[in-house]
Amino acid sequence: MADQNTPKTVKIVDIDAYSPPQIAERIDTIATVKASIDTTKTFLLGILAGAYIAFGAQFATLVTCDSTLHYGLTALVAGIVFSLGLILVVIASAELFTGNTLIIMGYVSRRINTRDMLNNWVISYAGNFVGSISMVFWMYHSHQFEFFHHMVGAKALLIANMKVNYTFKTALARGVLCNSMVCLAVWLCFSGRSVADKVISIIFPIGGFVASGFEHSIANMYFIPIGIVLRKNPDVVAAAEKMTGKALDLSQLTWKGFVFNNLIAVTLGNIVGGVILVGIMFWFVYLRPNISLSFSVKQDFFREKK
């Protein structure tokens, strides 16, 4: 009888988002986890991340190839559908170089050393490149570029050609802005407790950077190589010239142009945006040792001694 009258404990499910200090602590902890992953696994997960971002890139290319909407609305649609890439990365837990710049928080907290951090960045970056280039191969052989009278291929060609004609300063600045938004999307994901929370957290920051024309190094590992491949297809070039109403200058759309006109500057910008504008900034606000508090405690101690 006594047992029947005993009130039962009710387990309350916490659905509130994690607070910013809690998010900082979670990212700080995850840095140690990422640094402990062996090289092979990091590389393989990097390949998957590169492929996932490429899925988002080709999706954005497809849905906007024949858009008759206003430029801003077309860019918004492209950004929303491109979010597929980071959604796959976050939910499937792959290793994306741009998001991994946030492990700088674990580095400045001295949870991981320089070697661990750079190893994660270099291996994930290399894996991302392999995954992106693999998707170029598969997408080309899928002949998706022939859809809508080669308009999908024409759109891909125009995107790639635009990207290799930026100045170094422009590519760098757009890379900084891009990865600040990518890392903010990752930051928001760490506030969520469910898959739905994470998906919603991703859409607006990623949609915003794509619509704003910012530059993502891993996405460009797909966007530009697919354009380099398609520039040799006369039907695609003709469709692209029809879309623009003028002859195209594709002289910069080469592997050299890809690396030196875009990838180097954008990668450096992505590092600055993720490391300084997000990682170190949030570490300084939420995780740094409270120097002023320590100083006041020491003062009180010496006063007591006197």
Mean predicted confidence (pLDDT) in 238-248: 95
Q: For residue 149, give the CATH number of its domain.
A: 1.20.1080.10
Residue 221 falls within a domain, yes or no?
yes
77-132, pLDDT tens digit by residue? 999 999 999 999 999 999 999 999 999 999 999 999 999 999 999 999 999 999 99
pLDDT-based confidence at residue 11 (cuts at 50, 70, 90): low
Residue 300 falls within a domain, yes or no?
no
Percent over 70 (pLDDT), the chain: 90
Residue 12 falls within a domain, yes or no?
no
Write down the mean pLDDT value for the chain.
91
What string of H, E and C letters represents the secondary structure of the chain? Answer: CHHHHCCCCCCCCCCCCCCHHHHHHHHHHHHHHHHHCCHHHHHHHHHHHHHHHHHHHHHHHHHHCCCCCCHHHHHHHHHHHHCHHHHHHHHHCCCCHHHHHHHHHHHHCCCCCHHHHHHHHHHHHHHHHHHHHHHHHHHHHHCHHHHHHHHHHHHHHHHHHHHCCCCHHHHHHHHHHHHHHHHHHHHHHCCCCCHHHHHHHHHHHHHHHHHCCCCCHHHHHHHHHHHHHHCCCHHHHHHHHHHHCCCCCCCCCCHHHHHHHHHHHHHHHHHHHHHHHHHHHHHHHHCCCCHHHHHHHHHHHHHHHC
Residue 181 falls within a domain, yes or no?
yes
pLDDT at 299: 46
Residue 303 falls within a domain, yes or no?
no
Residue 108 falls within a domain, yes or no?
yes
Residue 269 falls within a domain, yes or no?
yes
Assign residue 110 a region: left if phi > 0, alpha if psi is -120 to 50, beta otherwise? left
pLDDT at 296: 44
pLDDT-based confidence at residue 23 (cuts at 50, 70, 90): very high
200-209, pLDDT tens digit by residue? 999 999 999 9
Number of domains in the chain: 1
Domain of 56, in residue numbers: 17-287
Alpha carbons 37 and 59: distance in angstroms, whole number: 31
165-196, pLDDT tens digit by residue? 999 999 999 999 999 999 999 999 999 999 99
Mean predicted confidence (pLDDT) in 219-227: 98
pLDDT-based confidence at residue 231 (cuts at 50, 70, 90): very high
* From 159-163, 222-226, 298-302, the region with the lowest mean pLDDT: 298-302
pLDDT at 108: 95
121-132, pLDDT tens digit by residue? 999 999 999 999
pLDDT-based confidence at residue 13 (cuts at 50, 70, 90): low
273-282, pLDDT tens digit by residue? 999 999 999 9
Signed CA dihedral, 113, 118, 123, 125: sign only: positive
Alpha carbons 218 and 205: distance in angstroms, whole number: 16
Percent over 90 (pLDDT), the chain: 86
Residue 144 falls within a domain, yes or no?
yes
Q: Which of 39, 126, 157, 105 has the alpha carbon at shortest distance from 288?
A: 105
Mean predicted confidence (pLDDT) in 27-46: 94
pLDDT at 83: 98
